[in-house]
Amino acid sequence: MMKIAIMGAMIEEVEPFLNLGEHEPLLKYFKKHNDVNYGGNLYHEAKYKGLDIVLGYSKIGKVNAALTAATMIEKFGAEQLLFTGVAGAVNPSLKIGDLIAATQLCQHDLDITAFGHPHGYVPEGKVYVEPSRELLRIAKSVADEKEIALKGGVIATGDQFIADPERKKWIETTFDADAIEMEGAAVAVVCDQLNIPFFVLRAISDTADTDATFDFDEFLKHSSQVSSSFVLAMLDKIADGQDQ
């Protein structure tokens, strides 16, 4: 049975999958069989339509995201990873609530340009990491079937909440970025290095300008729901494909 990791950064981003009970979260869509606390995070193991699932959130930022992605793969045996969450829009065509699937991910705050390297690059690494084409294909077919507008684009990741037009512009011009967030590229590097097909989906919560913190608080919940619903539809498709 295929084991799939579903990961967010904040509890709000995976909450649509959970019924938060008084003492422990119950899984809404999945047949739950185990909860494991490991390395400061709670992982839910479950079953869904013939798929094994491990679900959890990492806490914010690249280090936390890398730990969770690696744990889901190495400790829980995840064979594919789907990331769900929210992002700040950089491309002006992306509005609050819109979905973007990463076609490339980069780290905008990785900087050894002092040694003549490009932004986002370290030796033996690459500036852009690419998600699984097969998972992108599945996402596209879900979007087509459900008539959901799904954009593809460059997601730039860094350990900074961007609420500054100048920094936003710099990330846009330096990396040709469409959206910014704080975990995607970390997950991408881990999965790429460990040969695990992965997919990063984000629904826009803000436009990374001066009012970004206000919008983020306002739209986090709704945009998280938009992204989670789409990931659930992808799981349905993956589960169907597995039966054939």
Which token pair is 73? Answer: 């793969």
**Does residue 206 carry a catalytic annotation?**
yes
Question: Which of 74, 145, 154 lies closest to 108 in space, CA to CA?
Answer: 154
Q: Rounded CA gap, 216 and 65, in Å?
A: 20
Which token pair is 183? Answer: 């975990």
Interaction mask 104-143, ligand ADE, x per CB under 6 A: ----------------------------------------
Catalytic residue among 15, 181, 206, 215: 206
Asked if 155 is part of the footprint of ligand ADE (rule: CB under 6 A), the reply reads: no
Residue type, 98: D
Q: Rounded CA gap, 93 and 43, in Å?
A: 36
Catalytic residue among 13, 172, 192, 215: 13
Which token pair is 103? Answer: 């076609």
Nearer to ligand ADE, 45 or 206 (CB): 206
Contacts of 119 (CB under 8 A, 6+ apart): 108, 110, 111, 113, 127, 174, 175
Asked if 180 is part of the footprint of ligand ADE (rule: CB under 6 A), the reply reads: yes
In sequence order, the β-bridge partners of residue 202 are 85, 100
Closest separation in Å from C-beta 54 to ligand ADE: 23
Binding segment (CB under 6 A) for ligand ADE, from list 25-33, 84-92, 102-110, 140-148: 84-92
- Write down how long the chain is: 244
Among 13, 45, 98, 181, which residue interacts with ligand ADE (rule: CB under 6 A)?
A: 181
Among 5, 86, 96, 185, which residue interacts with ligand ADE (rule: CB under 6 A)?
A: 86
Binding segment (CB under 6 A) for ligand ADE, from list 66-74, 101-109, 139-147, 175-183: 175-183
Kindly list the residues in this chain that would bind ligand ADE in the complex (CB under 6 A). 86-88, 161-163, 180-182, 205-206, 208, 212, 216
